[in-house]
Amino acid sequence: MGRLDNKVAVITGAASGMGRATAVRFAGEGAAVVVADLNQEGGDAAVRDCKEQGGRAVFHKTNVESEGDIQGAIEHAVREFGRLDITYNNAGIAGALGPLEQVSAENWDRTFAVLLRAVFFGIKHSIPHMRKSSGGSIISTASIAAILGQAGPLVYSVAKAGVIHLTKCAAVELAKDRIRVNCICPGGINTPLLHKHVPGGEATTLQLLQIAQPLARPGTPEDIAGMALYLASDDAEWVTGTAMIVDGGFVARGNAFAQQSAFEVPGKWSGPSFEKD
């Protein structure tokens, strides 16, 4: 018996990184998964990985800046698999980079559209379907940058703080429907979203992450997938409104590791990890 047998999940940003690792983990635990992402090639590969784990999976091309795309991914899950039990609002970008005085209004708004407004859409359109199933689990990706200053790009950090508060407010409102709402705050996870901005790329990033936190190894997408599995499963049936920190002890040590320097590029925009900036 898998921990997610007979459950249906939608995961945004599931073509790579933490989303992909979570999709594969969910599929291996018995869930049917909708891989929702802009990246068709990566999404198709993630579907194949899910099926290799014995799970069911389909790809839905999704731009999380579009409410219709997010609603479409959720409706695809219901149409294909008959219900919705889990929504993981995971898609992310670094977004607006550089000092605050050099951030354009356009880049501010788009960063919030991807990192915060999309989470609102994911929660909003999950509610009626989860209510029909007598409950469900909504998970979103926040960040330790929402908790610590100087732990990520400024606009990104503020948007992720919004994810934490939206999580708490939605959890209270939806508790009567047995819909649990939680978020995950990853620390330094070795994904393209992080190492694409570090001089020296992935090799240098791995060296930095090796010493960035008390548990002296880089974080992996699988570390986040493990927490997402817990929150999605019935093991967490009395857990809601939480921001679960998965960071190897980074926040506990209180050391705002100098990630900021990698993002101090005046006026720059950083989009999805599979696209060149």
Could you tell me the domains of the chain? 8-190+220-248 (3.40.50.720)
pLDDT at 259: 46
What pTM does this model have?
A: 0.91
**pLDDT of the chain, 277 residues: tens digit per residue:** 699 999 999 999 999 999 999 999 999 999 999 999 999 999 999 999 999 999 999 999 999 999 999 999 999 999 999 999 999 999 999 999 999 999 999 999 999 999 999 999 999 999 999 999 999 999 999 999 999 987 788 999 999 999 999 999 999 999 999 999 999 999 988 887 776 667 777 788 788 888 888 998 889 999 999 999 999 999 999 999 999 999 999 999 875 554 444 445 555 756 675 566 5
CA distances from 267 to 29, 97, 183, 185 (A): 43, 6, 29, 26
Pairing of strands 243-246, 179-186: parallel
Residue 131: partners with Cβ closer than 8 Å, 6 or more residues away: 177, 179
Which positions are annotated as active-site residues?
156
Residue 177: partners with Cβ closer than 8 Å, 6 or more residues away: 127, 130, 131, 135
The side-by-side arrangement of strands in the sheet containing 8-12 is 56-61, 32-37, 8-12, 86-89, 136-141, 179-186, 243-246
pLDDT at 16: 95
